[in-house]
Chain A
Amino acid sequence: MDIQITKVGIISCSGEDLPEGTLSRIACRKVLDELRPGDTVTICLPLFIAGGQEERDFASKFPTITVDGCEKRCAQISTERISGKPSRSLLIPEILEKRGLAAPKRLRHLGQEEKEAAQAVAEEIAKAVDEILEE
């Protein structure tokens, strides 16, 4: 028995050894907490991969967006393996290039430029959420 509301699951790269991983985490939290709080859920990537039942159940029932920090595309590949093709797959370097923003350099304590980059990524994710909910 479920309380059914369509929400979008955001599966973020969480690369601890990659500045884009930090950017991705911060952008995803921004979407969850500020931009689309009622419409989104974050899914912990390692738990999802490791067999977290709640994460997997959610991803099999609801649309998902993967946000990856590098070309290894851990989030996208894992989601495709486990719960099927994500509704959208975003890649941070592509978003930053499209927006004319520099790649982040720090793993933590983001500077002003990196915060702006996180905001830009968050906006792109929010846009994808809206598109999915309208489909």
Chain B
Amino acid sequence: MKEKRKKVVVLACSGIGKVYGALARETAYELVEKVRPKITKLICLPLLVIGDPEARRMVTANPVITIDGCPKSCAHKSAESQGARIARSYQAINFYKAHKELKPEGIAELNDLGQRLAEVSAIELGGIVDVLVAEEED
């Protein structure tokens, strides 16, 4: 029987006070729903933080990408504290720095430019996901 393929786990900022938190999440959604739907898996950050066994199993058995919305880096630090296999860590503000023409606005919902920025950033992360999956299969 063929071994089940590993997935790349995505952990995004859960903040509800800042635009970069919304950008982090939206980028994660783009990545998981559209860009690499079959080989990525989103996990609720609070669930991991309270020590849910299944969430913990996922982040220790698979490579993890964290996307944070502020320098407090809750996603990265929480993953680290749960022994996650962190493969890459990002700050959403750097997505904007790389695409200054796409200024994100909005907290509950991003504006059109922010949405576009999430799409572009997720495509870029898609390439990273491929690398991580290839490494797992080697």
Closest to B13 in A: A46
Determine whether the beta carbon of A44 is less than 8 Å from that of B15.
Answer: yes
Q: Name the segment of A71-79, A86-94, A97-105, A126-134 touching the other chain.
A: A71-79
Residue of A with least CB distance to B43: A17
- Min CB–CB distance A128 → chain B (angstroms): 17
Count of A interface residues, CB-CB < 8 Å: 29
A46:B29 contact, CB within 8 angstroms: no
Within the assembled complex, what's the spacing in Å between the Cα atoms of A29 and B75? Answer: 21
* Among B15, B52, B72, B107, contact of A14 (Cβ-Cβ < 8 Å): B15
A46 with B12: CB separation less than 8 A:
no
Q: Is the CB of A46 within 8 A of B108?
A: no
Indicate whether A25 reaches chain B with its CB closer than 8 angstroms: yes
- State whether B78 touches A14 (Cβ < 8 A): no
A16 in contact with B44 given A29-B107, A46-B74 (CB within 8 Å): yes
A47-B15, A52-B72 known; A15-B47 Cβ under 8 A: yes
Chain A residue numbers with a CB within 8 Å of B7 are: none
Q: Quick one: given A17-B42, A29-B107, are A107 and B49 in contact (CB under 8 Å)?
A: no
Which A residues contact B (CB, under 8 angstroms)? 12-18, 21, 25-26, 28-30, 42, 44-47, 49-50, 52, 72, 74-75, 77-78, 107-109
Which 6 pairs from chain A and chain B are nearest by CB?
Answer: A14-B14, A46-B74, A74-B46, A15-B44, A29-B108, A44-B15
Extra inter-chain contacts (4) besides given A25-B16, A50-B81, CB under 8 Å: A16-B43, A17-B44, A49-B49, A50-B77
